[in-house]
C-alpha cells in the first residue's frame, strides 16, 4: 500500500529547523549543546510528542522517541540520525534522518497501522566531532565502546568536559557510561541520510542502500615551539610551531595520495595557532587530522606514516609534540538480510536503487556493532555536503522517507 508521506510538511519542518542556527541562513551551525542545538533538540522533541511518541533522554543527551508496539517486550526497531551540525553546514545532513523518521511514523499512523514491535526514533548526541573532537559520541557510548575514563577525559577547546555540558543541558542521570544499551535492546537499526557524495545523482538513482561504512580515524597534535617578537627573533634561531604544523599537513596529503588506494582520504581540518598575532612567532599549534579508508590496511599504513612524519618534523625543528589518537575505528559491515529488505521495499515502490559504500561516517557505524543495521541514502546535489549549499529536493527526500516507512512496516509487522 502506498504510504501517505507529506513531503510539503516535512520540507517546512526541515526549513524551520535550519533557522535554528548559530549563524544566519543559509548557514546552519548547531554545535552540540550550544544554544541553537538545545533549541533544535526542543523543536524535535515537540514534533515527537505531537506525533504521540513517548520521549526520553539518556545521560549523554541521546533522545529516544518510542511508538509502543503490540508486543511491548519484543526488542524495538530503531531509526534516526543527528541534528547537530558542523560550523558552516547545510540543512539536510542528519536532519533528513530525524525529521524523516517522524514523517515515516506519521505516515504509518495515518494508515491505521499498529506495529507489532515498538519503533524508536533516536536523535544521537554529537554525531559531529566539533565540540569534543570525537564524532558519533552518543552512538559510541550506546554501543559501549567508550570507557568511563575516556568519557571523563573529553574536553572542548575551552576546557569544558561532558559533565559541564550535561548540567547546562539539564540531562538526567549521573554516569554517562551507563547510557550503554543492554544487549538485544534493538532488533535492528536503519538510518536515512543524504549520500554526501555524487554517485546517486550521477547515476540518476533514487536510493542507495549501504553495505559498508568506511573506517574513520583522527589524530590531535599539540605542537609547542618558542614564540617571540617577529622583528627581533632572527630566522636561524626560530622554533615556529606553525611551520612544523604546515610541514605535517603536507605530509598528511602525501600519505593519502601515496597510499596505493584511491579510497584513502586525509584532511587537516583544524589548524589553530597561538598567539595568533601578525608580529609574533607562533609558539603553539593544534592540528586535528581526519583519515579514512574503506580498507583497514591502507588506512593504518597511512596513519603510521603521518605519525612518523610528525615525530621527525618536530624533532628536526626542535618542537615539542604531543600526539593523541582520538579514534581509530574499524569499518562497519551492514546486515545482508536488512539490505535485502530495503531492496525489496525499493522494488515494491518502483524506485531505482543501488547497493553502495558510505565514505562518510554515521551513527550506524556504531549501531552496527550492537544490532543488524543498514542505511538508506538519497541523492544530494553535486554530492555536496558540510556546506550551506547542501541540497536534496523535496521529492528525493519524500522517496527516502517512503523507503524508510516501508522498511519499518516490513520489519515490525
Which of 128, 240, 247, 390 contacts ligand GLV by CB under 6 A?
128
Q: Cα(152)–Cα(267) distance, rounded to whole angstroms?
A: 27
Which of 156, 348 has the CB closer to ligand GLV? 156
- C-alpha cell read off for 406: 516501508
Which x/- pattern, by CB under 6 A, does the window 45-84 give for ligand GLV? ----------------------------------------
# chain residues binding ligand GLV, by CB under 6 A: 4
33, 124, 353, 361: residue in contact with ligand GLV (rule CB under 6 A) = 361
**Residue 121 phi/psi, 5° resolution?**
-100, 125
Q: How many CB atoms lie within 10 A of CB 397?
A: 25
DSSP 178: G
* 94 binds Mn ion per the rule CB under 5 A: yes
Instruction: In angstroms, give the least distance from the CB of 71 to ligand GLV.
Output: 35
By CB under 6 A, the residues from 135 to 154 that bind ligand GLV are: 135
Cα-based distances in Å from 225 to 158, 239, 241, 273, 288 = 21, 5, 5, 11, 17
Q: Is 205 in the site for ligand GLV (CB under 6 A)?
A: no
Q: Which of 205, 360, 370, 411 binds ligand GLV (CB under 6 A)?
A: 360
Cβ 390 to ligand GLV shortest distance, Å: 12
In the complex, what is the shortest distance from the CB of residue 194 to Mn ion, in angstroms, rounded to a whole number? 8
Per-residue binding letters, 245-284, with ligand GLV (x by CB under 6 A): ----------------------------------------
| Burial of 317 (C-beta count, 10 Å sphere; 0-12/13-18/19+) | middle
Q: Which of 375, 297, 357 has its CA nearest to residue 127?
A: 375
Q: Which three cell numbers stand for residue 398?
A: 519524500
Window of 34-42, 93-101, 182-190, 214-222 that interacts with Mn ion by CB under 5 A = 93-101
Task: Report the alpha-carbon distance of residue 321 to residue 389 in Å, rounded.
Answer: 37
CA nearest to 407, candidates 358, 310, 321, 334: 334
Contact of residue 361 among Mn ion, ligand GLV, none (CB under 5-8 Å per partner type): ligand GLV
Q: Torsion angle, CA of 237/241/244/247, rounded to 10 degrees?
A: -120
Catalog residues that contact ligand GLV under the rule CB under 6 A. Answer: 128, 135, 360-361
Catalog residues that contact Mn ion under the rule CB under 5 A. Answer: 93-94
Amino acid at each position: 500500500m502506498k504510504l501517505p508521506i507529506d513531503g510539503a510538511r516535512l520540507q517546512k519542518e526541515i526549513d524551520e529547523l535550519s533557522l535554528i542556527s548559530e549563524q544566519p541562513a543559509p548557514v546552519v551551525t548547531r554545535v552540540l549543546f550550544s544554544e541553537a542545538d538545545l533549541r533544535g533538540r526542543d523543536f524535535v522533541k515537540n514534533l515527537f510528542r505531537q506525533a504521540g511518541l513517548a520521549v526520553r533522554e539518556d545521560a549523554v543527551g541521546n533522545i529516544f522517541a518510542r511508538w509502543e508496539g503490540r508486543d511491548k517486550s519484543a526488542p524495538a526497531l530503531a531509526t534516526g540520525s543527528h541534528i547537530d551540525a558542523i560550523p558552516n553546514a547545510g540543512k539536510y545532513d542528519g536532519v533528513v534522518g530525524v525529521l524523516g523518521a517522524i514523517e515515516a511514523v506519521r505516515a504509518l499512523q495515518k494508515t491505521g497501522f499498529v506495529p507489532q514491535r515498538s519503533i524508536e526514533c533516536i536523535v544521537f548526541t554529537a554525531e559531529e566531532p566539533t565540540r569534543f573532537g570525537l564524532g558519533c559520541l552518543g552512538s559510541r557510548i550506546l554501543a559501549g565502546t567508550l570507557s568511563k575514563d575516556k568519557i571523563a577525559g573529553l574536553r572542548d577547546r575551552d576546557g569544558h568536559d561532558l559533565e559541564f555540558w550535561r548540567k547546562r543541558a539539564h540531562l538526567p542521570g549521573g554516569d554517562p557510561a551507563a547510557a550503554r544499551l543492554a544487549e538485544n535492546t534493538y532488533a535492528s537499526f536503519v538510518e536515512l541520510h543524504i549520500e554526501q557524495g555524487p554517485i546517486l545523482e550521477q547515476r540518476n538513482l533514487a536510493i542507495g542502500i549501504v553495505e559498508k561504512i568506511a573506517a574513520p580515524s583522527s589524530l590531535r597534535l599539540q605542537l609547542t615551539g618558542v614564540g617571540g617578537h617577529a622583528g627581533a627573533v632572527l630566522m636561524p634561531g626560530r622554533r615556529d610551531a606553525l611551520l612544523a604544523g604546515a610541514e605535517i599537513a603536507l605530509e598528511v596529503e602525501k600519505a593519502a595520495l601515496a597510499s596505493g588506494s584511491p579510497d584513502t582520504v586525509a584532511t587537516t581540518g583544524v589548524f589553530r595557532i597561538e598567539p595568533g598575532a601578525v608580529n609574533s612567532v607562533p609558539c603553539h599549534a593544534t592540528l586535528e587530522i581526519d583519515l579514512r579508508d574503506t580498507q583497514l590496511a591502507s588506512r593504518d599504513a597511512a596513519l603510521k606514516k603521518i605519525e612518523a612524519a610528525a615525530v621527525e618534523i618536530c624533532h628536526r625543528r626542535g618542537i615539542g609534540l604531543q600526539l593523541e589518537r582520538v579514534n581509530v575505528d574499524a569499518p562497519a559491515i551492514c546486515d545482508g538480510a536488512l539490505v535485502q529488505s530495503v531492496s525489496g521495499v525499493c522494488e515494491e515502490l518502483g524506485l531505482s536503487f543501488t547497493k553502495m559504500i558510505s565514505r562518510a561516517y554515521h551513527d550506524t557505524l556504531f549501531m552496527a556493532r550492537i544490532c543488524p543495521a543498514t542505511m538508506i541514502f538519497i541523492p544530494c546535489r553535486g554530492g555536496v555536503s558540510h556546506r550551506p549549499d547542501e541540497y536534496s529536493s523535496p521529492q528525493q527526500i519524500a522517496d527516502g522517507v517512503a523507503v524508510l516507512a516501508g522498511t519499518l512496516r516490513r520489519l515490525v509487522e
